[in-house]
Structure 1
Amino acid sequence: MKTLADLVLLGDPRLYEVCEPVTEADLPLVAGWVADLHQVMQEVRARYGFGRGIAAPQLGLMKRLVYLHLDGRSHVLLNPELSECSPAMFELWDDCMCFPNLLVRVQRHEAVTVTYRDAQWQPQRWPVQGAVAELLQHECDHLDGILCTMRALDAQSFRWRP
């Protein structure tokens, strides 16, 4: 079982890599991967007080897998793809488990649609807006080796969280 000590931190080259798709042959491994992601997310929540989603590369697993835990419900997204991104944008202070004390001012789409396969390999389509849309944009960026630090609005868009 992975723990907080296994979390990949800012500067690790794996965070800048594009992940490989999850294949149907990987399905027997998905439950174990999700258990690890859930465990580490719970540890981050306990220590730092935040965490709604985590992407597999944050634990060094270079697969296109996102795990969300929202309002007591778990969501497993295999090979998520964002589309129908709204032209309307909003700004926020983004945080990331890979650098838990740093906040970064970024701009995100107000609404997106994510298509993905669930843990049973069934195709899904999920239109989302607001906080969940922002979260999915952040997590899907991880799958493409993009960190919110790379999306900062400008050189002054960084803040330390005590």
Structure 2
Amino acid sequence: MVSLQDILLLGDPRLRQVCAPVARDELPGLQPWFDRMDQLILLFRKTYGRGRAMAAPQVGLLKRVVCMHIDQPLVLINPTFMNLSGEKFELWDDCMSFPNLLVRLNRHQSAVLHYYDLNWQTHEWALDGDLSELLQHELDHLDGILSLDYARNTDDLKWVANP
């Protein structure tokens, strides 16, 4: 059984670590982590009314993995951007590791993502808008970067109450 307390919060030094790549032979041992992350996404969404993905360091796994759950679970292994558009858009970004704080920032409008799936097959995924922004946020986590790092001043921060 998972709890929202399983999600690392702002201030935990593991959120600032650069994650190691996943080797193919590690996959069987990582499956319980992927299942747990998927359950946490669904629990967070039920509690806060938002939450589509999370990066492995948010649960203390310092590996280059992102789990998503939009219509169904999807695990992205060793994801990298192959192309980020020059066009950007502004948004208020939220994060499971500081759920009551929004950060105003700019993200690339579109991107092409390369990743491995659970069968170690490679994929390229053209992303636009919300999905592009979401995965830029999650891949930042894999490099120890938080959305707070993009805030220019306190005007770019907004506190929101729990639902």
TM-score by length of 2: 0.95
Residue 58 of structure 1 corresponds to which residue in structure 2? Answer: 58
Mapped partners of 1:29, 1:4: distance in 2: 23
Q: Which runs of 5+ in 1 are unaligned?
A: none
Deviations 1:10-36 (A, max 9, x none): 000000000011111111023211111
Mapped partners of 2:159, 2:96: distance in 1: 14
Mapped partners of 1:121, 1:30: distance in 2: 13
Mapped partners of 2:17, 2:150: distance in 1: 16
Q: CA, structure 1 residues 63+2, in 2 after alignment: closer, same or farther (shift >3 Å)?
A: farther
- RMSD (Å), alpha carbons: 1.1
Alignment map for 1:139-154 (pairs within 5 Å): 139-154=138-153
Large movers: runs of 4+ above 3 Å: none
Q: Report the 3-state secondary structure (helix = DSSP H, G, I; strand = E; otherwise coil) of the residue aligned with 2:84.
A: coil
CA contact (8 A) 1:107 1:153 kept: no
Mapped partners of 2:52, 2:152: distance in 1: 23
Residue 127 of structure 1 corresponds to which residue in structure 2? Answer: 126
CA contact (8 A) 2:42 2:69 kept: no
Mapped partners of 1:96, 1:52: distance in 2: 10
Deviations 1:51-85 (A, max 9, x none): 00000000000000001111x12221000001210
TM-score by length of 1: 0.95
Q: Report the 3-state secondary structure (helix = DSSP H, G, I; strand = E; otherwise coil) of the residue aligned with 1:5.
A: helix
Alignment map for 1:45-124 (pairs within 5 Å): 45-70=45-70, 72-124=71-123
Q: Report the 3-state secondary structure (helix = DSSP H, G, I; strand = E; otherwise coil) of the residue aligned with 1:119.
A: coil
| Number of positions where the alignment pairs a residue of Structure 1 with one of Structure 2 | 161
Q: Supply the AA of the counterpart residue of 1:91.
A: E
Residue 25 of structure 2 corresponds to which residue in structure 1? Answer: 25
The 10-residue stretch of structure 1 (22-31 or 99-108) with the greater mean CA deviation from structure 2: 22-31
Deviations 1:32-51 (A, max 9, x none): 11111011111111211110
Q: CA deviation at 1:151?
A: 1.2
Mapped partners of 1:117, 1:51: distance in 2: 22
The 10-residue stretch of structure 1 (89-98 or 38-47) with the greater mean CA deviation from structure 2: 38-47
Mapped partners of 2:35, 2:10: distance in 1: 23
Q: CA deviation at 1:126?
A: 0.5
